[in-house]
Structure formats: C-alpha cells, structure tokens
Structure 1
Amino acid sequence: MMSISNDSPGEGSDAVQDRILDAAAACVLAYGIDRVTLAEIARRAGVSRPTVYRRWPDTRSILAALLTSRVVRVLDDPADREPGREALVGRIVAVAGKLQHDEIVMAVLHNAPELAMVYIAERLGTSQQILIDAVAGQIEQAQEHGSVRAGDPRRLAAMCLLITQSTVQSAQMVEPILSGGELDTELAHALNGYLKR
C-alpha cells in the first residue's frame, strides 16, 4: 500500500507540486472534470491533503494551475526563434495546435464550461498573461525587424490572444468546414493580416 505523507525528505517543493499537478491530470483523464476531488489528487500524488491545501485552497485552483502548467510547457518548446511576422505567426499557430490537441485543456473547455468561461469572458488568467507577455516580446522584436505594424506590443498581443483563443475554442464546431491544416492556414492568414505593416 502506498504511504501518504507530507513532502518527502530531500524532495523539493517544486517536485511535490509537479506530482500533485500530474495526479490532477490523471484524475481529469480518469474521471472527468466534474468528479475530480482533492482527496483523490492527494492519494494519486502520494501526499497528504494538508500538503495539497498548503498550495491550493480547492480543486478548482488546482485545475487552474494545471492549465497554466500545460500552457507553459507548450511555450517552453525550444522552437525556432527567428524574428519577423511570419515566423511569429507560425509559432502562435503551432502553440494553438498543441493546445487544441492537449487532452487536459480540451477537457476543461468542453466539460467545465463554468471554469472555462471565467477565463474566456471575465478575466485574464495566469496562462493568458503568460501568453500575452511571450507574444508581446516577440511582436516587439518583429516590429524592430520591420515586419509588424506599429502599435503597443501588449495590445497587439492581447488581440492575437483573442483571435487564437477563439479559434482553439471553436475548432470542433467548424471542423466540417475547416479541418486540420485548413484551420491552421486560416488562423495564420488572420494573424498575418492583423499584424502586417
């Protein structure tokens, strides 16, 4: 039987946090969003419930952190960092494709609409702020390169987020019209048209 303990001696806080998030992902896939419990996350992670509570107050907070970790993982991909609008748009489209095929992200979007709607219609979440910051920095470089129009990089990045987020959210709905690579092509056209000088 697996022992449930507090943080293991010699194991860093980041490692424990990663185990908890991995356990949350496993619970989402095994039971669906609505049936994930903090107790089951703790059990699968091999930690006590107080260990989980020290990091997050409830299951919803854990799921939000899980989404953020999935986005950050996609952004950490050491993809081509070539400057310029077309390379930037290619990176945004690639990130959108990876998120669209991420089982956890899609499970939240399609099976937990009340959680998803907070970040779609009410406020920017941590993962969205991270995306805006990453894209804004790359937009600024592309502006210096001369391939992106003038404008506040964060404003342009926020609009790119809205365009891309809408595409990811609604991809399933328009699949009979825009499937696979066709959706990527049209998203690239939309972003290129928005950003070009």
Structure 2
Amino acid sequence: MVSIGNDDEAGEPVADRILDAAASCVLAFGVDRVTLAEIARRAGVSRPTVYRRFPDTPTILAALLTARIVGVLDTIESRGTGRVTLVDRIVTAAGRLRQDEVIMAVLHTAPELAMVYIAERLGTSQQILIDALAGQLKLAQDVSVDDRVRAGDPRQLATMCLLITQSAIQSAQMVESILDSEALATELAHALNGYLAP
C-alpha cells in the first residue's frame, strides 16, 4: 500500500497499518459497521494514535479508497505516449479496480458513500486520476497521426474518460451475463479509443 505516513512503529508506517486495518474491517463487517476502535485494535495502536492521524472513521475510509485507487495506477507501467497505449493503461486500471475487494465492497455495500463520489463531488483519487490522465492526453495529442488523441482541452477529455471508465467499473456486475470481464475490457477500449480518436 502507498505510504502516507512517515512515522514508523514495528517496521511499517502507522498510517499504513491503520489503513490496512480499515480495509480488514470493511471486508469483515461492511462499511457501515466499521468503527475507529476496531480499526485501532486491528492496527495494534491506541485510539489517540489513530486520532492524531485521522479525525474520524469517514476520513480513514476516504484515505483508504484514495490509497487503493492511486496504488493501482502506480502499478501500471506507461509503455508509450500514444492513444492506444494510454487506452490500454486505462482499461488495465479499470480491470484491477474491479478486482479490488475493498473498492467493490464500498460500491456494493455502502451505496450512499459511493454516491458521494459518483454524483455529488470529485474525490481526491478522482482528482489525482484526472490530473495524471490530462498530462498523458496532452502528450498523446502531439504524437504521430495514427496514434494521436484528438484536439481538445486535456482536462475535459480526461474527465470524460473518467466518467466512462467509472461507469464501466460501477456497472460491471449488473451486466456480467452480457459482458464478461474480457468483453467489458474490449468494449471499454473501443469506447475510449472512439472517443479519443481524431
């Protein structure tokens, strides 16, 4: 997991241990039954130690989701600057996020929390993804004609790519009998390539 703390107890940053414990609680109890006391117990730290890093359980859960989403992005190598390579990276990230038990647990067991980031406001991880993707799209607008991204504001293009991909991740379970994982990835790639092509 991505380290978000620089204090170290027992060989692992305390903030990382807290997030790992929160992930364990989400999987064991569901989002609604996660408590700060149980997170502290599983992390092997006191409640005041948790409070020094996070003011409350929702903040811990938001940090957990951000760390997991950004962590997936960090594990996927960029193998070029063209549109096809960029779309492949997005599709790969979507597949890995759909396989993440914690992210899927939040989507499926805490819809009210998920809806905040689907319909009300951009979360930290979404902002990070948009910024990273906008930079890559800008580069892909300047490559050879065959593999170029169309003209347009890179941040707007990135935001639309986020919406398309986020929708595919959220709804994958609902359409699984029609689009299995492989078919979903193929169709998502077609959708993104079609949207981004000149």
TM-score under structure 1 length normalisation: 0.92
CA spacing shift, 1:40–1:190, aligned 2, 3 Å: same
CA spacing shift, 1:10–1:65, aligned 2, 3 Å: closer
d(CA) in 1 for partners of 2:29, 2:15? 21
d(CA) in 2 for partners of 1:44, 1:188? 40
Cα distance per residue 1:31-58 (max 9 Å; x no partner): 2212111000001111111111122222
**One-letter code aligned to 2:162:** L
Match of residue 29 from structure 1: 27
Match of residue 89 from structure 1: 87
Deviation (angstroms), 1:81: 2.9
**One-letter code aligned to 2:34:** V
Larger mean CA deviation between 77-86 and 94-103 belongs to 77-86
Q: Secondary structure, in 3 states, of the residue corresponding to 2:117?
A: helix
Q: Secondary structure, in 3 states, of the residue corresponding to 1:62?
A: helix
d(CA) in 2 for partners of 1:55, 1:116? 23
CA spacing shift, 1:148–1:53, aligned 2, 3 Å: same
Match of residue 116 from structure 1: 114
d(CA) in 1 for partners of 2:45, 2:79? 39
d(CA) in 1 for partners of 2:58, 2:30? 13
**One-letter code aligned to 1:52:** V
d(CA) in 2 for partners of 1:56, 1:46? 16
d(CA) in 1 for partners of 2:74, 2:114? 23
Q: How many residues align?
A: 189
Match of residue 47 from structure 2: 49
The runs of 4+ residues in structure 1 deviating greater than 3 Å are 9-12
Cα distance per residue 1:90-114 (max 9 Å; x no partner): 0000000000010000000010011
d(CA) in 2 for partners of 1:135, 1:81? 14
Match of residue 4 from structure 1: none
TM-score under structure 2 length normalisation: 0.91
Deviation (angstroms), 1:80: 3.4
Match of residue 187 from structure 1: 188
CA RMSD of aligned residues (A): 1.7
